[in-house]
Chains A and B, each alone.
Chain A
Amino acid sequence: MKRYFGRKILVYLLTFFLAVTIDWMIPRFMPGDPIRNMLTRVSVSSNPIAIQKMYDYYSHLFGLDLPLWQQYFNFWKSLFQGDLGISTYIFPTPVAKVLLRAIPYDGFLLVPSILLSWYAGNKFGAFAARSKWLDNTVSPLGYILTATPYMWLGILLAWFFGIVLGIFPIAGAYSYSMSPNLSWRFIGSVLHHWFLPFASLFLVGFGGWAIGMRNMIIYELEADYSHYLGALGAPKKLIRKYAFNNAVLPQITGLALQLGVIVAGALVTEVVFSYPGIGYLLLAAIQNQDYFLIQGCFLFIIIGVLLANFTIDIVYILVDPRTRRGMTGETA
């Protein structure tokens, strides 16, 4: 057990280190200069001394006048102190503050949609595999849903439910006529605005999981052990239970693999619905070459994806007896 986790944690730490290093490098390889972008349109250029002074001032402020290796070193140093730097695009707000404002919305959107679509998709896929009629109608729908780009589904939902039917808002995280407060009206408004972006993430995920589960169940029901159980006279319900337990394992692996895609999907969905998570921030940060905000956004994504993968590793131990035995050195 200890060895297993020791190894896992080492791998995760190494991944984290590499991912964060790449995260630090990529914005700096982009062509352009964040300070120049920030100072764009300042009317002081008729005064060359003033403009150079301002440029130097800001370069120093952001530590961009140092050699690269030193910037990299300082980056890790301040990262361990919890300091993510100051955004150039929304100067002078600290990146940590910007992210803290935005991340709750991401969690609020991502966590329910990932878990619910996974759970409902698997349940439904297993269910659909039982009935020919359901299989014929639901499978094509699932294929369509899972192939839909998140953004496109989002636009369709916004157009139909937001504009044609007018029953859901199309933008914002809560009504533009409210300021946050603890009241049922406000909570209702939050849920009302949350529903469509959630639904577009949920539906795409749901289609994929349902299809996957349906195929896995059919495969497992055709496996030798199922036929053997059947020949022994076991009830159909029991056979399906075993089939489901086996079929769910690849789905868990699939979830780990899909996380990155889902997070990226959530980012574009947020742009479609003007939802104030990090989606729009990241887009704007990249366009404005805001090194620090880009780093911060990706750092959040890296930590999120790694944590979720780690969780899935633990889940694996719980659901797959083979992993557990292998770990404790038992032999099957």
Chain B
Amino acid sequence: MKRLPIVLSILVAMSMLFAACAPAPTEAPAPVEPAPEQPTEVAEPTEAPAAEPVAEPVPTEYPRAETLYVSGAAWGPASTWNPFQPGSLANTTGTIGYVYEFLYAFDPQSGELTPWLAESGTWSDDTTFDITLRQGLTWSDGEPLTAEDVAFTFNLGQQYEALWFSPMWRYVESVTATGDNAVQFKLSAAPLYQEFSNNLYNVPIVPKHLWESKSEEDITVGANEKPVGSGAYMYLTNAEDRNVWVRNENWWGKEVFGTPAPKYIVDIRTSSNNVALGMVLKGELDLSNNFLPGVAELANKGYVKTYFAGPPYMLSANTAVLFLNTTKKPMDDAAFRRALAFAIDVPSIVNVAYAQLVKAASPTGLLPVLEKFDDQDVLASLGYSFDTEKAKQMLADAGYVDVDGDGFVEAPDGSAIELQVTCPNGWTDWMAAIDIIASSSQTAGINIQAAYPDYGAWNTELQGGTFDMTLNNWASMSNTPWTLYNLLFRHPIQEQMQSGNFGRYENQEMFDLVDALAQVPSTDVEGMQAACSDIQELMLTDMPMIPLWYNGMWAQWSDSTWTNWPDENAASPTLPTTWSGYWQLGGLQTLINLKPAGE
């Protein structure tokens, strides 16, 4: 017994050594400037003179009534504030939309581009687009935002191929500042109008005075810490599991759009969805944009609020499409693909896998907000719906019969069919959905098994084209059906398909149709409809991929601190989301419309 204290003291000493490898645990993980001790109550914003940004002390505590807590946008610790960063990296931070702004916004509910940094834009002829910027635009460091900044930003795309919007320079001839507030886009003949208008509300404008001295590496991959933008919020601090943004009190848009209600936004990265759920129930999280299975039940009982009071509870955000690898047998056979479309039990996916949180997709794949581009005649004659008997009949008609009596059909040449449908492991909703795809196809006589590789392996199979069939939903809500069809029929076919046409469907006729759609001016709705009809007819005849359901814009919120969230009863509902890429689709307006509870 006497020795135990010695033992313990050694253990303790060793543990200290162990712990000493790293700074003390209470030390800040975030790069916070050493701020003087702050009283817990943060002093009301003193009107800092616009010209000279005063280094305000970083507040140590954000008052609950002024702070909005959100989650579901960040998938990892913030690591870059570069608005041009490829992939989903910058997307996790809110950099684009809070800090950096766009020329235009897009209102998905009305389907119109609305001016943001731009005041107005006019086509003086088919290939000349003139933009007039608003008066009094400023960067958060006090410098004015002018036409020079806009021209500089777009010209970066010409200079550096590594920037994602660089391909628009295939048809853009020049972007020039023709005055302090005037920018002129000169396009070549046959420009891709659809992509162009899409870029107008997706290319973030960066300040020339800070970016022109940057190296190529800094611009394309630099982390851009302490970003200076023109937007409604500014970077405050970040840590492993959170990003904190503070309202830009000198934001130029206050007079135009209004003032966003929360002074602070804390964007929380939860490690699992049950944590997010617990935090919403406790009122610690105001808005969760995580997918929470079973949230319908909680909404029915009034614990959380959702956009719709009943099914599907959520707005539709994107289309879950089953990509079929058309380079493999029997997916190279259009008859087989069409039969498969009838064999899949979409109602069960909606009702069982999702417990009614989603809607079945239109066979054209277009979101409800783009419904006007669905050709109803084509749908009536070529649409599909779950019908096992019909699927069996179609298979038999095409020569797929069960030769060896194992309950599954063989290919017309007699070879056995054994296919895999995949999705990343851990995506529980998709895993449940592909289970249903597999089991309902088996009922129709097609031997399909579900498999769940890790995300990385799945992604490699997806882009390398080694999968049989897999789910994908990478076309987000947009102003144009071209966004979806550009994903589905991306061309030319390359060794690696990074962002579309994963099934390598090769059909020049289709590619021409999509290119034709891309060249229709986005003001010509009838022209777009006609182009879409052609695409839809060919798509539903050939069935190279099968749109199944709309993934929801997952959003559940609590009214305890902030009210006036957008829902189906709102007069002009905006989008209740903090996902990246949606701030310019009305996400910011949602923040402006919020009201503190009790007011």
Q: Which residues of A contact B (CB under 8 A)?
A: 30-34, 36-51, 53-54, 57, 87, 89-93, 98, 100-105, 107-108, 111, 114-115, 119, 155, 158-159, 162-163, 166, 169-173, 175-183, 185-187, 190, 241, 244-245, 248, 270-276, 279-281, 283-284, 286-289, 303-304, 307-308, 311, 314-315, 318-319
Contact = CB atoms under 8 A, between A and B. Distances in A.
B77 A272 contact: no
Interface of B: 1, 3-4, 6-8, 10-12, 14-15, 17-19, 21-30, 32, 35, 37-38, 40, 58-64, 67, 69, 75-80, 85-89, 161-162, 164-167, 170, 221-223, 236-237, 239-242, 244, 266, 268-272, 274-275, 278-279, 281-282, 284, 424, 426, 453-457, 459-460, 463, 474, 490, 492, 494, 496-500
Contacts of A89: 76
The 8 A-B residue pairs whose C-beta atoms are closest, nearest first, are A180-B28, A32-B456, A108-B25, A276-B240, A289-B456, A90-B79, A45-B498, A31-B457
Given A41-B474, A92-B79, A179-B28, A102 B240 contact: yes
B223 A100 contact: no
B239 A44 contact: no
Given A179-B60, A180-B27, A286-B454, 17 more contacts: A30-B456, A32-B457, A33-B460, A42-B164, A47-B161, A51-B496, A104-B24, A108-B19, A111-B19, A163-B282, A183-B37, A183-B60, A241-B1, A274-B271, A287-B456, A307-B18, A314-B14
A274 B3 contact: no
Contact of B30 (A54, A180, A272): A180
Given A45-B494, A91-B79, A101 B29 contact: yes
A32 B460 contact: yes
A59 B270 CA distance: 31
Interface SS of chain A: helix
27 contacts: A31-B453, A34-B456, A37-B456, A39-B86, A42-B164, A45-B490, A45-B500, A47-B166, A90-B77, A93-B223, A100-B22, A100-B23, A105-B29, A107-B19, A115-B15, A171-B268, A176-B242, A176-B284, A179-B244, A181-B32, A181-B60, A182-B37, A185-B61, A286-B454, A289-B454, A307-B14, A319-B7
A102 B76 CA distance: 13
Contacts of B275: 170-171, 272-274
A36 B496 CA distance: 9
A276 B74 CA distance: 14
Contacts of A32: 454, 456-457, 459-460
Nearest to A287: B455
A308 to B, nearest CB: 7
Contacts, number: 283
A222 to B, nearest CB: 19
Contacts of B162: 44, 50, 53-54, 57
A31 B460 contact: yes
B282 A172 contact: no
A178 to B, nearest CB: 5
A37 B458 CA distance: 10
Nearest to B161: A50
A92 B79 CA distance: 6
Nearest to A112: B15
Contacts of A48: 492, 494
Contacts of A287: 424, 426, 454-456
Interface SS of chain B: loop
A182 B34 CA distance: 10
Contacts of B457: 30-32
Given A45-B490, A92-B223, A180-B28, A50 B166 contact: yes
Contacts of B161: 44, 47, 49-50, 53
A234 to B, nearest CB: 14
B490 A46 contact: yes
Given A39-B498, A91-B80, A105-B25, A248 B4 contact: yes
Contact of B455 (A46, A163, A288): A288
A104 B456 contact: no
A180 B24 CA distance: 12
B499 A42 contact: yes
Contact of A41 (B87, B166, B274, B490): B87
Contacts of A276: 29, 239-241
B239 to A, nearest CB: 7
Nearest to B239: A276
Contact of B10 (A162, A284, A315): A315
A45 B61 CA distance: 44
A66 to B, nearest CB: 20
A176 B282 CA distance: 14
A271 B276 CA distance: 12
A42 B87 contact: yes
Contact of B164 (A43, A177, A187): A43
A288 B498 contact: no
Nearest to B266: A176
Contacts of B35: 181
Nearest to B501: A45
